[in-house]
C-alpha cells in the first residue's frame, strides 16, 4: 500500500514524457500525439474573445507559456476528470521540476480557477494568486473598478456574475453568495463570467 501511494505521488516526476508541438494560448497546448491539453486549476486571459479583440495580458501569457513548454518534454498529472466535454486532456503539466500551471499563476499570467472536482492544487494556486495580486504582477496590473454595488457568486461553480446576468438569476439560494466588490470574490478563487464579464 505504501509503495503504491509512493509511486502515485512521484509519478509525475518519472511518468511518460510528451513533446509539446504547439502552444495555443496561455493555458492550452498540443502534444506530439495530436492531443490538446487544457491546464487545470488555472485560467489565462483569452487571446480571441467572441466579439473580437483580446483580453488584457493574453498575448503575454501565451508567449510565456510558449517559453516554458514549446518543443520541450512535458509530463502530465491528472485529477478526477481526465478529459473535458471537448475531448481535451485536463492536466497538471511539468517540465523537469517546473510545475507549469503553478508558475503561470505565480507570475500573474493566469488566474487560479476552482472548478470542482479538479481541485487537487487549489490551495497552492490560491496562495500564489494572492501574492501575484499583492505584487500586481502580470494581469493584476489591470485595475478594474467596481461598476455594480453587488456581485453574485455561485458557490458550486466559483463563477462571478453581475446581478443582471441571466445566469446569476438561475443560481439557487443554496449556492448564491453576494459580494460587495468583484475583487473580494476573485481573491478567493472566483472567475468572472464569460457572458456578463463583471
Ligand atoms: Zn454572468
Average pLDDT over residues 139-164: 94
What is the reported pLDDT for 14? Answer: 63
pLDDT band at 13 (very low <50, low <70, confident <90, very high): low
CA atoms of 198 and 151, how far apart (whole Å): 8
Given pLDDT bands bounded at 50, 70 and 90, which one contains residue 10? very low
What residues are labeled active site? Answer: 38, 46, 88
Domain boundaries, the chain: 2-140, 145-192
pLDDT tens-digit readout, 103-132: 999 999 999 999 889 999 999 999 999 999
Which phi and psi angles does 191 have, rounded to 5°? Answer: -115, 135
pTM: 0.85
CA of 152 to the centre of ligand 1 (A): 9
Q: Please state, in angstroms and rounded to a whole number, the distance separating the CA atoms of residues 170 and 193.
A: 13
For residues 148 and 179, the answer to whether their CB atoms sit within 8 Å is: no
pLDDT at 88: 97
- Residue 116 C-alpha to ligand 1 middle, in angstroms? 18
CATH topology assigned to domain 2-140: OB fold (Dihydrolipoamide Acetyltransferase, E2P) (2.40.50)
How far apart are the CA of 164 and the centre of ligand 1, in A?
8
Mean per-residue pLDDT, 48-66? 90
Q: Which pLDDT score, from 0 to 100, does residue 12 have?
A: 53
Number of neighbouring beta carbons within 10 Å of residue 53: 10
Quote the CA–CA distance of 140 and 134 in Å, as a whole number: 8
Residues with Cβ–ion distance below 5 A, ligand 1: 161, 165, 167, 193, 195-196
How many angstroms does the Cα of residue 153 sit away from the middle of ligand 1? 9
CA distances from 24 to 36, 62, 108, 163 (A): 9, 7, 18, 33
pLDDT higher than 90, residue 196: yes
Amino acid at each position: 500500500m505504501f509503495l503504491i501511494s509512493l509511486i502515485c505521488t512521484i509519478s509525475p516526476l518519472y511518468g511518460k514524457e510528451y513533446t509539446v508541438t504547439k502552444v495555443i494560448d496561455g493555458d492550452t497546448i498540443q502534444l506530439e500525439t495530436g492531443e490538446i491539453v487544457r491546464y487545470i486549476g488555472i485560467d489565462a486571459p483569452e487571446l480571441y474573445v467572441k466579439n473580437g479583440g483580446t483580453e488584457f495580458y493574453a498575448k503575454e501569457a501565451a508567449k510565456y507559456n510558449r517559453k516554458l513548454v514549446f518543443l520541450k518534454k512535458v509530463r502530465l498529472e491528472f485529477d478526477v476528470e481526465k478529459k473535458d466535454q471537448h475531448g481535451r486532456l485536463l492536466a497538471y503539466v511539468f517540465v523537469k521540476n517546473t510545475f507549469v500551471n503553478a508558475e503561470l499563476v505565480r507570475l500573474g499570467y493566469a488566474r487560479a480557477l476552482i472548478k470542482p472536482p479538479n481541485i487537487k492544487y487549489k490551495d497552492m494556486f490560491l496562495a500564489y494568486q494572492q501574492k501575484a495580486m499583492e505584487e500586481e504582477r502580470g494581469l493584476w496590473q489591470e485595475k478594474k473598478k467596481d461598476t455594480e454595488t453587488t456581485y453574485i457568486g455561485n458557490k458550486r461553480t466559483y463563477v462571478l456574475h453581475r446581478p443582471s446576468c441571466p445566469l446569476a438569476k438561475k443560481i439557487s439560494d443554496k449556492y448564491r453568495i453576494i459580494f460587495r466588490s468583484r475583487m473580494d470574490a476573485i481573491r478567493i478563487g472566483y472567475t468572472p463570467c464569460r457572458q456578463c464579464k463583471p
